[in-house]
Amino acid sequence: MAAYTPMIQQYLTVKAEYQDAFLFFRLGDFYEMFFEDAIKASQELEITLTSREGGSDERIPMCGVPHHAAHNYIEQLISKGYKVAICEQTEDPKHAKGVVRREVVQLITPGTVMEGKGLSEKENNYIAAVSSFEDGTFGFAYNDISTGESRVTILSANFDEVLNELAVLSAKEVVVASNFDEALQKKMRDRDVLAISFEDNSSIDLNFQHLLEAVNQEKLKQAVARLFNYLYRSQKRSLDHLQPVTTYQIHQYMKIDYYSKRNLELTETIRSKGKKGSLLWLLDETMTAMGGRMLKHWIDRPLISQNEIEYRQTIVDVLMNHYFERQELREKLKEVYDLERLAGRVAFGNVNARDLVQLKRSLMQTPFLKQILQGMPNEQVNKIADLLDPCEEITDLLEQAIVENPPLSLKEGNMIRDGYNKQLDQYRDASRNGKTWIAQLERDEREKTGIKSLKVGYNRVFGYYIEVTRANLHLLKEGQYERKQTLTNAERYITPDLKEKEALILQAEEKCGELEYELFTEIREMIKEQIPRLQSLAKTVSELDVLQCFAQTSEERRYVKPQFSAERLIMIKDGRHPVVEKVLNAQEYVPNDCLMDADREVLLITGPNMSGKSTYMRQIALTAILAQIGCYVPASEAVLPIFDQVFTRIGAADDLISGQSTFMVEMLEANNAIANATKNSLILFDEIGRGTSTYDGMALAQAIIEYIHTRIGAKTLFSTHYHELTVLDKELMKLKNIHVSAIEHNGKVVFLHKIKEGPADKSYGIHVAQLANLPKELINRANDILIALEQSDIQTVPAKIEVVKEPQVEKPAQLSFFDEPKEPKKQELSSKEKRVVEKMKELDILDLTPLQAINMLYELQKKLKH
């Protein structure tokens, strides 16, 4: 290291502490990167890689970005999951002896972004910390640094719970101890966590002790401490906006695991992974960014407490019935800025005067909101009005202090109003007087010289000057002014008086600028004191916004208020799939009823492809979720139980999410439902068992149905293409068949999408084949086989049916399905088959678990099929 120049040595010392981050090293107007960082950054950011002398023999790779454009580059790196350490010059180069002192002032990471594109308005940006305890359980804490919200819980030893929480929150970054299990780290990365960071300090610091008052268990405190220690260490600044930490438990909410959430497309669609087309998209009539985030939060965590749900319903009800008030409310809410994130930025010290004007305008809506709510005849709605704190002190302060249209920059002045500060007014007077003097000078000199086009101008280099065009130069007396600058068409002059005034004006302006900045900082600090009030207002406004959003959507889409049943009754009249209905257009959607009482625990749904089985099942789940977040539901009448959990599993063949998903995954997920569901859960199994051979799959499907029916008793919708399963209703008393049928209309198959009682017509496949004009002989033959199958026992194989070997009409029959030679010839195995046989020979069966065996069997069979 000794060979390097002192600056490079300084760089290397700082870099040593930030191994896992790009070090943005401030050199004048640039952030420079060196060595490995430079090479990697030049690729990631597509900027030119150069090099410089650094004292050693070889030149040092280098690349840089201008500091004023740095945020763009930082955002790019962060969105790719990198971290960026910002290293600034922390002393004035003029006073530096030797190398200027430089220090890292902030570490920006995917989970700690405060502003910019990395932060989407209507979504939280969460960072989580996971601590593993000796008893196997996990401490789980999370925070959104832009809003200051933090929560903590203990999760069971089942790591899936951790993964599930990470997915629910879409956490970008996870903080763990440096010795945290590597395999578990990998699992987290696989769940879209962008960055894993390490923090070994889990002791409570004075900085945040006061935030932990509501947290009483030692384990919980430690989990939060790890997170906060990391935040303080990386952000290196006041985090005064952090809100008191609250505890929660996952069973306080309806549990929906990661896969179910994706299958149901609650907050993003499976195909595009975007919001459009999801339940969130359908519902989002929120008017504020805060409300948008709260809505997503509510959808992610439906309630299970009937009281809490009914509270939301009450407000929605009142807002539904007061159309004009609601519209007025929406108008006012539209004017409310993101108070929550603004409070965060006040604490962080990166708000400008425009933000504060926005803050004032937002706060000025509060009295109107209060008034509208007070005008509605409902106690609970009036109570919300009481909770809305207009924060008048802040509004008054900002009204007196900040002008209506301040500039973006804090250094340009013109932010503070006249009359707010005496000293500032004096400086301004001085500057204004000087300017009046100059305007007067211009008039006087024009008169004196008779040059109408004479003007007094200003530029940064020469200050104030008198300009006379070339054509008029002859009108000036020799030596009248002192010449300063010659242009093509004009000459510029100064006079001693002009320079004297200039000095006064510039001095006054400089002082104004400094004082304005000082005053602004003071105002910001005063607002900082009020952050908790702003946060509590933000919370009330967000909730109000979501509730008006429910009312708005429910009215527009003709939803009804669901009732809750303690007897686990589902009774939905004219139910609709909320999203499909919206996408299709209300007229085309065929509403369907659903009745599941004590005698109807399991509904087995049959029907042809594209008839609407999946849509029907999802519509029931979405209706339940809408009900439990306190919204109305798409039906003309609805009674529902309060579900503790919802499970959905889509058969491998229909599984768009995992694509490559094997039958094994399907079984694991089915197991997740079977192991965790209770009587109060809702299970949707859509064509499960499809990923394996017919008999295998059918056997499993039947066993699963029997198990759920007899052992679990959860409300279950099971769609299947195994028609054979429909006889189960003879044995299983609480299982009922329903179906979606198709009809023929003008020679075309028409799907009515109407759910009916009983199993589907078994011959629909043949019917469709007939419509497709398959040969008549073939159709007749298919009908015969079908009849034979129906008469036989379902377990029997089709070989019992007599095989047609002779053409029955003149035409040769190419189509005898089960024609097998009586004495099968010895056939050569194909090379593919040989490989499979080899593989089987090699298997050590005793070394396989049953699950591995199934999976292996599946893989082998797949090889043979393809």
Site for Mg ion, rule CB under 5 A: 614
By rule CB under 6 A, what string of x and - marks binding of each residue 649-678 to ligand ADP? ------------------------------
Helix (H) or strand (E) holding 174: strand 173-176
Stretch that binds ligand ADP, among 19-27, 325-333, 360-368, 612-620 (CB under 6 A): 612-620
Q: What are phi and psi for residue 53, nearest 5 degrees?
A: -70, 145
Three-state secondary-structure class, residue 248: coil
Q: Quote the least distance from Cβ 553 to ligand ADP, whole Å.
A: 20
Least CB distance to ligand ADP at residue 772 (A): 18
Decide: is 742 part of the binding site for ligand ADP (CB under 6 A). Answer: no
Name the closest residue to ligand ADP (Cβ): 612
Yes or no: say if 395 and 361 are a contact pair by the CB < 8 Å rule: no
595 binds, among ligand ADP, Mg ion, none (CB under 5 to 8 A by kind): none
DSSP letters along 383-435, please?
HHHHH----HHHHHHHHHHB-SS--S-SSS---BPTTS-HHHHHHHHHHHHHH
Residue type, 56: S
Q: Is residue 615 a contact residue for ligand ADP (CB under 6 A)?
A: yes
Q: Torsion-angle region of residue 590: left (phi > 0), alpha (psi -120 to 50) or beta?
A: beta
Residue 580 binds to ligand ADP (criterion: CB under 6 A): yes
The packing angle between helices 831-842 and 850-865, to 10°, is 170
For residue 752, the minimal CB distance to ligand ADP (Å) is: 9
Q: Nearer to ligand ADP by C-beta: 142 or 589? A: 589
Q: Closest approach of Cβ 743 to ligand ADP, in Å?
A: 14
- Span from 38-46, 132-140, 312-320, 609-617 in contact with ligand ADP (CB under 6 A): 609-617
Neighbouring CB atoms inside 10 A of 581's CB total 21
Our CB check for ligand ADP shows the closer of 484 and 557 to be 557
Does 150 sit near ligand ADP (CB under 6 A)? no
Stretch that binds ligand ADP, among 128-136, 287-295, 355-363, 585-593 (CB under 6 A): 585-593
- Our finding on whether 614 is near ligand ADP (CB under 6 A) is yes
Could you tell me the smallest distance in angstroms from the CB atom of residue 611 to Mg ion? 9
- Residue placing its CB nearer to Mg ion in the complex, 421 or 614: 614
Among 423, 436, 609, 852, binds ligand ADP (CB under 6 A): 609
Q: How many residues does the chain have?
A: 866
Alpha helices in 557-647 (DSSP H): 578-584, 613-628
Could you say which of 34, 427, 520, 589 contacts ligand ADP (CB under 6 A)?
589
* Residue 614 vs 741, nearer CB to Mg ion: 614
Q: Which of 124, 260, 611, 648 touches ligand ADP (CB under 6 A)?
A: 611
Residues numbered 301-340 forming contacts with ligand ADP, rule: CB under 6 A: none
586 lies in the site for ligand ADP, by CB under 6 A: no
- Distance in Å, CB of 614 to ligand ADP, minimum: 3
Tokens of 148: 């200051």
Distance CA 689, CA 335 (A): 53
Residue at token pair 């960072």: 127
771 binds, among Mg ion, ligand ADP, none (CB under 5 to 8 A by kind): none
The correct pick among 396, 588, 731, 744 for binding ligand ADP (CB under 6 A) is: 588
By C-beta, is 399 or 654 nearer to Mg ion? 654
**Interface stretch with ligand ADP, choices 90-98, 345-353, 425-433, 589-597 (CB under 6 A):** 589-597
CB of 716 to ligand ADP, least distance (A): 16
Residue 608 Cβ, how far from ligand ADP at the closest point, in Å?
Answer: 7
Residue 706 CA to residue 713 CA, distance in Å, equals 10
Region near ligand ADP per CB under 6 A, out of 272-280, 412-420, 586-594, 767-775: 586-594
Q: How far is the CB of 263 from ligand ADP (least distance, A)?
A: 12
Q: State the pairing for strand pair 715-719/602-606.
A: parallel
Task: Establish if 768 lies at the interface with ligand ADP (CB under 6 A).
Answer: no
* Coil vs helix vs strand at 86: strand
Asked if 590 touches ligand ADP (CB under 6 A), the answer is: yes
Please say which residue, 614 or 702, places its beta carbon nearer to Mg ion.
Answer: 614
**Smallest distance, Å, CB 664 to ligand ADP?**
23
Environment class of 420 (CB within 10 Å of its CB; exposed 0-12, middle 13-18, buried 19+): middle
C-beta separation of 33 from 62 below 8 A: yes
610 binds ligand ADP (CB under 6 A): yes
Question: Which is nearer to Mg ion, 221 or 690 (by Cβ)?
Answer: 690
Q: Does 392 bind ligand ADP (CB under 6 A)?
A: no
**What does 588 interact with, of Mg ion, ligand ADP, none (CB < 5 to 8 A by kind)?**
ligand ADP
Name residues whose C-beta falls within 8 Å of residue 688's C-beta, 6 or more positions apart in sequence.
649, 651, 666, 670, 700, 701, 704, 718, 720
Distances (CA, A) of 35 to 26, 48, 58: 15, 14, 11
The dihedrals phi and psi of 181, each to the nearest 5 degrees, come to -45, 125
Which three-class secondary structure string do you get for 631-692?
A: CCECCCEEEECCCCEEEEEECHHHCCCCCCCCHHHHHHHHHHHHHHCCCCCEEEEECCCCCC
Q: What's the closest the beta carbon of residue 641 comes to Mg ion, in angstroms? A: 25
Among 434, 562, 575, 612, binds ligand ADP (CB under 6 A): 612
CB count in 10 Å sphere of residue 803: 12
Cβ proximity to Mg ion: between 355 and 655 the closer is 655
Residues 6 or more apart whose Cβ sits within 8 Å of residue 700: 667, 688, 689, 692
What does the DSSP assignment read for 7-58? HHHHHHHHHHH-TTSEEEEEETTEEEEEHHHHHHHHHHHT---EEE--SSSS
| Count of residues that interact with ligand ADP, criterion CB under 6 A | 15
- Edge-first strand listing for the sheet containing 30-34: 50-52, 60-66, 30-34, 22-27, 84-89, 102-108
Mark residues 699-738: x for contact with ligand ADP by CB under 6 A, - for none: ----------------------------------------
DSSP H/E element including 457: strand 455-459
Tell me how far apart the alpha carbons of residues 127 and 239 are, in angstroms, rounded to a whole number: 15
* Region from 74-82, 369-377, 515-523, 604-612 binding ligand ADP, contact rule CB under 6 A: 604-612
The closest of 703, 751, 702 to 726, measured between CA atoms, is 702
Tell me if 578 contacts ligand ADP by CB under 6 A: no
188 binds, among ligand ADP, Mg ion, none (CB under 5 to 8 A by kind): none
CB closer to ligand ADP, 484 vs 756: 756
Distance (Å, rounded) from C-alpha 267 to C-alpha 565? 27
Amino acid identity of residue 376, one-letter, is M
* 495 burial level (CB within 10 Å; 0-12, 13-18, 19+): middle
Residue 593 or 597 with smaller CB distance to ligand ADP? 593
Question: 413 is in the binding site of which of Mg ion, ligand ADP, none (Cβ under 5 to 8 A by kind)?
Answer: none
Q: Which of 726, 753, 801, 854 binds ligand ADP (CB under 6 A)?
A: 753
3-class SS of residue 88: strand
| Partner interacting with residue 599 (select from Mg ion, ligand ADP, none; CB below 5-8 Å by kind) | none
* Residue 39 binds: one of Mg ion, ligand ADP, none (C-beta under 5 to 8 A by kind): none
Segment contacting ligand ADP (CB under 6 A): 303-311, 580-588, 595-603, 703-711? Answer: 580-588
Q: Give me the residues that bind ligand ADP (CB under 6 A), please.
A: 580, 584, 588-590, 592, 607, 609-615, 753
